[in-house]
């Protein structure tokens, strides 16, 4: 099976491990991802704060390119990209005059027929019914499923799960043998795009997420957003400073957790690229790389 695929900027840059795990997981389930031709940045996270027409034109061109390529649906793994494409499709449909203006700007037609899937929808729709045949070992860990802001809000547009207490990622974790924990911060903000400009705020907001996950007994945090992963993983030194204690709970993408369950190698899933080593208490080392090699690959990778 072939499926349209919009990687966005993050998966081609700072979140290479997410791309690697998405591609490897789809391959294991006999899905070939075909990139949207000549795709462009969707404008997240700044465009919608600066220019309304630009913020819609950038995602609209992606959708137009997907239609032109003949895709009926496209996978958009990045939560920020998914959010921008969904919001744009909604606004163009519900505001015809604005939609027509956007079409004039990009010089392309957008019918709105392309279905947009986030990575959890992909797993639910195409992977879970084949999981029993693919399982290699249970992902037997207590997991805090962290949805963040962009997968569930605005809920009236995205219509994906419950905005205050979503559960689809929890269901996936149960399917692969994990135990989702009940916790209070599954949809709280991690600091989002302020990771560079206001590292202090990111440390505070992400620190509260990390602290609550640990308090509730989680051994691992599961995400589906490159921005959330970056803030919780890369900013861990700032988080530890804010919390005034060391935390070493690893942060995995949902595709990495599922990939481990179906027997994909740690390297194929990009686990060596994480800043916080992927170790789980009392369950051994998930990555098969020794610490020095792991640290070297993180710096070089």
pLDDT at 192: 81
Helical ranges in the chain per DSSP H: 8-12, 16-28, 47-50, 52-68, 79-94, 96-106, 119-122, 131-134, 155-158, 168-175, 199-215, 226-229, 236-243, 254-261, 291-300
Domain boundaries for CATH 1.20.1050.140 within the chain: 2-119
CA distance 25 to 165: 27
The span from the CA of 26 to the CA of 23, in Å, is 5
* CATH hierarchy code of domain 2-119: 1.20.1050.140
What pLDDT does residue 196 have?
A: 75
Query: Is domain 135-300 in CATH 3.90.1210.10, yes or no?
Result: no
CA dihedral 72, 223, 9, 121 (to 10 degrees): 0
- Give the closest residue to 171 by CA, choosing from 284, 252, 251, 257: 257
Cβ pair 177, 143 in contact under 8 A:
no
Residue closest to 271 by CA, chosen among 233, 231, 240: 233
Angle at 259 between CA 175 and CA 295, to 5 degrees: 130
Taking the CA atoms of residue 138, residue 275, residue 148 and residue 111 in that order, the dihedral angle to the nearest 10 degrees is -90
222: alpha, beta or left? (left if phi > 0; alpha if psi -120 to 50): beta
Cβ contacts of 217 within 8 Å, gap of 6 or more: 142, 181
Q: How far apart are CA 81 and CA 14, in angstroms?
A: 15
pLDDT tens over the chain, length 301 residues: 999 999 999 999 999 999 999 999 999 999 999 999 999 999 986 666 678 999 999 999 999 999 999 999 999 999 999 999 999 999 999 999 999 999 999 999 999 999 999 999 999 999 999 999 999 999 999 999 999 999 999 999 999 999 999 999 999 999 999 999 999 999 999 998 787 778 899 999 999 999 999 999 999 999 999 999 999 999 999 999 999 999 999 999 999 999 999 999 999 999 999 999 998 655 544 554 433 344 444 434 4
């Amino acid at each position: 099976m072939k499926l349209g695929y919009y990687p966005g900027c993050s998966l081609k840059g700072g979140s290479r491990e997410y791309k690697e795990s998405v591609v490897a997981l789809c391959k294991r389930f006999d899905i070939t991802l075909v990139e949207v031709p000549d795709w462009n940045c969707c404008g997240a996270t700044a465009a919608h704060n600066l220019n309304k027409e630009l913020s819609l034109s950038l995602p609209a061109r992606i959708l137009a390119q997907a239609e032109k390529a003949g895709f009926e649906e496209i996978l958009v793994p990045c939560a920020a990209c998914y959010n921008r494409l969904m919001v744009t499709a909604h606004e163009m449909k519900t505001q015809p005059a604005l939609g027509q203006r956007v079409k004039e700007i990009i010089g392309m037609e957008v019918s709105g027929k392309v279905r947009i899937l986030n990575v959890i929808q992909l797993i639910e729709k195409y992977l879970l019914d084949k999981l029993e045949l693919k399982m290699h070992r249970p992902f037997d860990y207590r997991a805090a499923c962290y949805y963040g802001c962009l997968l569930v809000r605005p809920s009236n547009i995205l219509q994906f799960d419950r905005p205050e207490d979503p559960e689809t990622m929890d269901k996936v974790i149960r399917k692969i043998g994990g135990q989702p924990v009940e916790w209070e911060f599954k949809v709280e903000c991690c600091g989002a795009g302020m990771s560079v400009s206001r590292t202090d705020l990111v440390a505070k907001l992400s620190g509260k997420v990390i602290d609550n996950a640990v308090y509730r007994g989680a051994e691992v945090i599961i995400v589906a957003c490159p921005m959330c992963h970056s803030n919780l993983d890369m900013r861990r030194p700032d988080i530890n400073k804010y919390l005034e204690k060391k935390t070493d709970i690893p942060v995995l993408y949902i595709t990495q957790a599922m990939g481990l369950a179906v027997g994909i190698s740690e390297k194929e899933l990009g686990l060596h690229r994480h800043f916080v080593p992927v170790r789980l208490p009392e369950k051994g080392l998930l990555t098969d790389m020794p610490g020095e090699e792991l640290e070297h690959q993180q710096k070089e990778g």
